[in-house]
């Protein structure tokens, strides 16, 4: 992760070759145009991103060393937009480790991020340019042409795979425009031989910003596909959920900024799917599984809808206790950037404990890709957290718990995150939730989690181990020296789901 982002009057790209020589930074302009064939798709107010990479093999937008971002004001798509290194509104990621500090050939590419219903970059509706390259040794002008619109997702064609797309009444009313709910359903190998049979059903919540296209990867995995259709695989219906949201991952729960996502899931999408596959709700075999963000989602759904779901398998869940939000206590710490010992707060690490990135860099990186110049609409992790857990601000956007440039924590906003602090929810409601959650919680975490999320899980376990009336039977396990999601396995989860269902 890049160590720093800041406002500068000159662009970073061509600073690298000259930094060590202590020379003045050369001047850069990027001339960006929109091709006539894609102009009808152009939407004002999007974020223009230009990516630079020294590496071949991947598009720069997927393999960037340095990124710049600006929100063009009043851009007429019939005219060329000039990105000028003197523009004070430009943000950029700072120098990344491994970026070659000598004159070099750079590959570059532009993306115009304009899909108002999806906070991500490489998603349908956004515009991209072709890849070009340049040798940089002094002042330079780049020419980029946005000539492609990223097409709609496609789900693999297979009689055992059913794509589901329905209009959500709840979300459409909240946003004042049509909003869809999506999922893809993978049927078990014996499904068509047993018409009318009600199978156990497992809802898979993807990792951060995952899409219902996850089924495509499963079908492309020869080992999984061979096992799934061999007759040896559990006879379970596997449903891939979609986490699309205007501010990033929706976390599948109701929120002030994203709207009634949990209500839409449980009262619109799931009933539609289960009607389609003849699931008998009285069988009580409706399960959840997910890792990372998906791990938090399935645990959260099980806790918020304890009677609706019948068991959750959560691997490496995002922080389940906001007193341990990574290494930050959002309720008492003053800064998310500097820890209580006066050191830069780490955000990620290797399994050997070596810090890889800081909270400051993570937040500032998200500022770059956000049309507001703050991470509030970045569509990435911290933008998503704020939208899901925090209140709506006076400007109609999510209120930021962490200041986007100083790291200062707003404790009034932090206090409103409490209703999504899963440990606090359990503590406050154990007498009613405890009995309903018996036999329904299974959590795994590596003790060297990349994002320090194992700390929060440890404190959740400490609480659950002390519960009474009832004594929690949640199964929570840790593997020493294991990293984020290291033991996640669709195969293993599906076997556990089938085993639990067999005891009904």
Domains of the chain, start order: 5-149 (2.60.40), 161-321+421-502 (3.40.50.1820), 325-419 (no CATH)
| Residues ≥6 apart with Cβ < 8 Å to 368 | 5, 49, 67, 68, 69, 91, 92, 93
The three-state secondary structure class of 79 is coil
**Among 498, 437, 488, CA closest to 464:** 437
Single pTM value for the model: 0.92
Question: Each residue of 329-370: pLDDT tens digit?
Answer: 999 999 999 999 999 999 999 999 999 999 999 999 999 999
Provide the total of helices (H) and of strands (E) in the chain, helices listed first.
13, 22
The phi and psi torsions of 238 (rounded to 5 degrees) equal -115, 120
Q: Which is nearest to 284 in space by CA: 455, 130, 96, 436?
A: 436
Question: For position 94, what pLDDT does the model report?
Answer: 62
Tokens found for residue 360? 């400051």
| CA torsion, ordered 200, 443, 327, 353, to nearest 10 deg | -110
On the CB side of 138, how many CA atoms lie within 13 Å of its CA? 0
Tokens in use for 314?
A: 């959560």
The token pair at 2 is 């890049």
3-class SS of residue 238: strand
Cβ atoms of 234 and 178 closer than 8 Å: no
DSSP, residue by residue, 373-388: SSGGG--SHHHHHHHH
H or E stretch at 274: helix 270-276
Backbone φ, ψ for residue 426 (5° rounding): -65, -40
Helix (H, G, I), strand (E, B) or coil at 478: strand
CA distance 210 to 244: 8
Asked if 328 and 345 touch (Cβ cutoff 8 Å), the reply is: yes
Distance CA 449, CA 485 (A): 8
Spatial distance between the Cα atoms of 165 and 241, rounded to a whole number of angstroms: 11
* pLDDT values of the chain reduced to their tens digit, one per residue, 504 residues: 333 333 333 333 333 332 322 233 346 789 999 999 999 999 999 999 999 888 888 899 998 888 889 999 999 999 999 998 778 888 888 643 333 334 578 899 999 999 999 999 999 999 999 999 988 766 788 999 999 999 999 999 999 999 999 999 999 999 999 999 999 999 999 999 998 899 999 999 999 999 999 999 999 999 999 999 998 999 999 999 999 999 999 999 999 999 999 999 999 999 999 999 999 999 999 999 999 999 999 999 999 999 999 999 999 999 999 999 999 999 999 999 999 999 999 999 999 999 999 999 999 999 999 999 999 999 999 999 999 999 999 999 999 999 999 999 999 999 999 999 999 999 999 999 999 999 999 999 999 999 999 999 999 999 999 999 999 999 999 999 999 999 999 999 999 999 999 997
What dihedral do alpha carbons 94, 99, 102, 107 form, nearest 10°?
-90
Q: What is the H or E stretch that residue 148 is in?
A: strand 140-149
Farthest CA pair distance, the chain: 75
SS3 assignment for 22-51: CCCCCCEEEEEEECHHHHHHCCCCCEEEEE
Residues contacting residue 440 through CB under 8 Å, at least 6 positions apart? 302, 306, 309, 310, 311, 312
Which distant-in-sequence residues (6+ apart) come within 8 Å of 91 by Cβ? 5, 6, 7, 68, 69, 70, 367, 368, 373
Torsion of CA 241, 244, 245, 248, to 10 degrees: 110
Q: Which residue has the tokens 């939730």?
A: 433
pLDDT in tens, 367-415: 999 999 999 999 999 999 999 999 999 999 999 999 999 999 999 999 9
Q: How far apart are CA 326 and CA 311, in angstroms?
A: 26
């Amino acid at each position: 992760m890049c160590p720093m982002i800041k406002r500068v009057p000159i662009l970073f790209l061509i600073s690298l070759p000259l930094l060590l020589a202590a020379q003045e930074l050369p001047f850069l302009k990027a001339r960006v145009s929109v091709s006539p064939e894609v102009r009808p798709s152009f939407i004002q107010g999007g974020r223009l991103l230009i990516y630079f990479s020294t590496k071949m093999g991947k598009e720069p937008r997927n393999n960037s060393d340095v990124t710049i971002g600006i929100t063009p004001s009043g851009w007429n798509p019939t005219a060329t937009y000039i990105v000028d290194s003197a523009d004070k509104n430009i943000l950029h990621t700072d120098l990344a480790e491994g970026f070659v500090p000598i004159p070099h050939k750079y590959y570059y590419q532009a993306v115009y991020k304009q899909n108002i219903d999806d906070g991500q970059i490489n998603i349908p509706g956004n515009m991209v340019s072709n890849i070009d390259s340049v040798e940089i040794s002094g002042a330079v002008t780049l020419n980029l042409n946005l000539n492609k619109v990223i097409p709609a997702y496609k789900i693999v064609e297979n009689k055992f795979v059913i794509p589901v797309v329905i209009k959500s009444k709840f979300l459409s009313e909240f946003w004042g425009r049509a909003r869809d709910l999506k999922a893809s359903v993978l049927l078990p190998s014996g499904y068509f031989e047993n018409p009318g049979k009600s199978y156990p059903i497992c809802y898979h919540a993807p990792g951060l910003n995952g899409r219902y296209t996850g089924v495509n990867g499963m079908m492309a995995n020869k080992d999984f596909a061979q096992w799934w259709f061999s007759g040896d695989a559990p006879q379970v219906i596997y449903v891939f959920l979609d986490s699309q949201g205007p501010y990033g991952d929706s976390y599948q729960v109701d929120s002030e900024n994203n709207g009634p996502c949990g209500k839409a899931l449980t009262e619109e999408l799931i009933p539609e799917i289960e009607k389609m596959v003849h699931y008998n709700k009285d069988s009580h075999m409706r399960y959840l599984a997910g890792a990372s963000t998906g791990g938090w989602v399935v645990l959260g759904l099980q806790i918020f809808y304890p009677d609706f779901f019948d068991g959750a398998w959560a691997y490496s869940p995002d922080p389940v206790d906001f007193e341990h939000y990574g290494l930050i206590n959002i309720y008492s710490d003053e800064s998310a950037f500097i820890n209580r010992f006066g050191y830069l707060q780490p955000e990620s690490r290797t399994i050997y404990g070596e810090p890889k990135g800081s909270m400051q860099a993570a937040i500032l990186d998200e500022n770059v890709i956000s049309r507001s110049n703050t991470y509030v609409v970045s569509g990435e992790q911290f933008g998503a957290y704020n939208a899901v857990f925090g209140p709506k601000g006076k400007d109609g956007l999510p209120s930021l718990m962490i200041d986007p440039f100083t790291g200062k924590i707003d404790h009034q906003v932090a206090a409103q995150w409490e209703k999504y602090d899963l440990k606090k929810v359990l503590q406050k409601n154990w007498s009613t939730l405890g009995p309903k959650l018996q036999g329904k919680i299974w959590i795994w975490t590596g003790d060297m989690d990349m994002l320090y999320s194992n700390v929060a899980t440890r404190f959740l376990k400490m609480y659950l181990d002390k519960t009474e009336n009832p004594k929690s039977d949640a199964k929570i396990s840790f593997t020493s020296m294991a990293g984020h999601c290291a033991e996640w396995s669709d195969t293993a989860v599906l076997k556990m789901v089938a085993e639990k269902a067999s005891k009904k």
